[in-house]
Amino acid sequence: MDEPLLSSGVQSRSKSYTMLGFFGGVVVTLSVVAAFVAMHSGAASSGGITMGPMGTALIGEETWCEKTDFRNVALKTVLDATIFGLVRNINQETKFEGSGVLKEDNAFYVICDSSWSIPAFHDLSSSGSFDTIYDAHAKDGERWSQSNTNFLIAPADTDAFPHNVDSNWESITYHTQLQHHIVTQESLVLKDGKYHAVIMNVALHHHPKHEWTLELACPSEFAFKDDSKGFEGMLGVEGIDGRFFLLGLCEGNWCDTGKKGKEPGNGRLVIMELEHGEGPPNTFKDGYLVETSTCKWKTLRMVEIPKTADFVDYSDIARRGNTVAISSQESSALFFGDMKLEDGLLNPDTFEITGGQVTRFAPTPNCQVQYCNLEGIEFMSDRLLIGASDSMKGNGRQPFMCLEKDQSMHVFALPNKVKLEF
């Protein structure tokens, strides 16, 4: 369906002057055509963005659909499934702002920046929420049956992580040595008055009930300018000499905000390693970090993402073998590159991302962006990837067609001619 860009036609004000009304109508028609052409002439190549009346950003028609290599660039949609239809009991949740996804233990774990509960999916084809009645009186931690294929993993300590406070989680990865999941709060102001990511090691428990506990919480040494742009993706990688590293994916170009953060093709990764510090472990109270320890994820080095990833922003990072995938929400695209490792291990002094090819998420029949809010990405197999979408932006910041795919899980197949070496 075409996006409504202009109001409906203009009527002549006087029936007495037929000819004047006719010529006036011609003038108005030409003006509308001119405005329509002007609005579409500025479409950005990265995301099909045009500027509407009063400078409102609209997702308009793109031109890449007309290229002869379209089938070699476009990811094919295999499945779209709304999260509300996948979870058997949503309990108190009113939204699922999907931010990251991880495949681990034969399940897909999804984090949402709106919730402390972690959706776990074993079957993306099930519709669990349709065959049970919502129980408004269910107690915390006793909401989900262990036999459910899909379920929510709630925090064990609901005083530390209350339902009425957003988690601000933007990424999820796995610590292979500790067998902990690592979730990241994007950028929060801490005791030093600066904005840091808060990196949380959590342990998932499934017996006697589904819940998670906090094992460790330490901020990143790397500081951001504000809370709007921080670490949007995180990848845990085993390193040389038995060490473990995190690769923090900055949402903004140059790891910056504002206009500089939107200069395409300047993506950055930050290599970090845990420094345990001193003092009692950090805790949470009422949804916020209580700093009692000097632990931190120390910055070792910043790594450039190849300019092939000519993106306005960067939303998540995933790995399969030596191949890395980096997604972009605003550019609605996906980059594949090669990681330089040493026998499969990361050396912080020599690590880099090389090569690269870019694919695009499938557009609408009118060649408009339809995956407007896709943030999380993960490999399912050599040819399939799974994605997670955030909620559609409100207050007119996104057009109506963005609602269809929001708060959902997606499965994509690689184009036939895209060959990745794992």
Model pLDDT for residues 228-249, shown as the tens digit of each residue: 899 999 999 999 999 999 999 9
Residues 13, 19, 22, 26, Cα dihedral to 10°: -120
pTM of the model: 0.82
Q: What pLDDT score does 90 carry?
A: 83
> Beta partners for 121?
108
Residue 96: pLDDT over 70? yes
Q: What pLDDT score does 396 carry?
A: 85
Q: Quick count: other Cβ atoms within 10 Å of Cβ 220?
A: 26
pLDDT above 90 as % of the chain = 69
Q: What pLDDT score does 137 carry?
A: 54
Neighbour-count burial of 327, counting CB atoms closer than 10 A to its CB (0-12 exposed, 13-18 middle, 19+ buried)? buried
At 48, the pLDDT band (50, 70, 90 cuts) reads very low
Find all residues with CB under 8 Å of 154, minimum gap 6, and list them: 91, 116, 117, 140, 141, 143, 144, 210, 211, 212
**DSSP single-letter state for residue 407:** T
Q: Which parts of 305-402 are beta strand (E)?
A: 316-320, 323-328, 333-339, 353-361, 374-379, 384-389
pLDDT single digits (tens) 164-197: 999 999 999 999 999 999 999 999 999 999 999 9
Q: What pLDDT score does 216 carry?
A: 98
At 62, the pLDDT band (50, 70, 90 cuts) reads low
Q: Are 242 and 254 in contact (CB under 8 A)?
A: no
At 25, the pLDDT band (50, 70, 90 cuts) reads very low
CATH among 2.30.29, 2.115.10, 1.25.40, 2.40.50 for 62-413 = 2.115.10
pLDDT above 70 as % of the chain = 80
For range 94-111, the mean pLDDT: 93
Q: Are 324 and 340 in contact (CB under 8 A)?
A: no
At 130, the pLDDT band (50, 70, 90 cuts) reads very low
How many Å apart are CA 328 and CA 317, to the nearest integer? 10
**DSSP single-letter state for residue 28:** H
Q: What pLDDT score does 30 carry?
A: 44
User: Which residue would you say has higher pLDDT here, 148 or 382?
Assistant: 382
Q: What pLDDT score does 195 carry?
A: 98
Q: What pLDDT score does 17 carry?
A: 39
